[in-house]
């Protein structure tokens, strides 16, 4: 008699999917924030042409 535990299977697959997707999103978000910071930083230092050495 095959037990009916499909709900367990679906729960597990869903949980796994949520965790992995959440992690992907967290990485992308952190990457984007850093990029914004870096771009803002570069933009604010570029106009200073009186600096002898390059940025």
Q: Which residues bind other proteins (CB under 8 A)?
A: 2-6, 8-13, 15-17, 19-20, 23-24, 27-28, 30-31, 34-35, 37-39, 41-42, 45, 54
Name the minimum Å distance from CB 20 to other proteins: 7
Runs of H (alpha helix) within 1-55: 6-45
Long-range contacts of 32-40, Cβ-Cβ distance < 8 Å, separation of 24 or more:
none
Tell me which residue of 41, 23, 21 sits closest to 31, measured CA to CA: 23
Name the minimum Å distance from CB 41 to other proteins: 6
Which residue, 9 or 50, is less far from other proteins as judged by CB?
A: 9
């Amino acid at each position: 008699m095959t037990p009916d535990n499909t709900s367990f299977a679906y729960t597990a697959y869903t949980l796994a999917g949520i965790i992995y997707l959440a992690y992907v999103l967290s990485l992308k978000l952190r990457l984007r924030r850093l990029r914004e910071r870096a771009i803002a930083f570069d933009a604010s230092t570029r106009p200073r042409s009186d600096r002898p050495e390059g940025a």
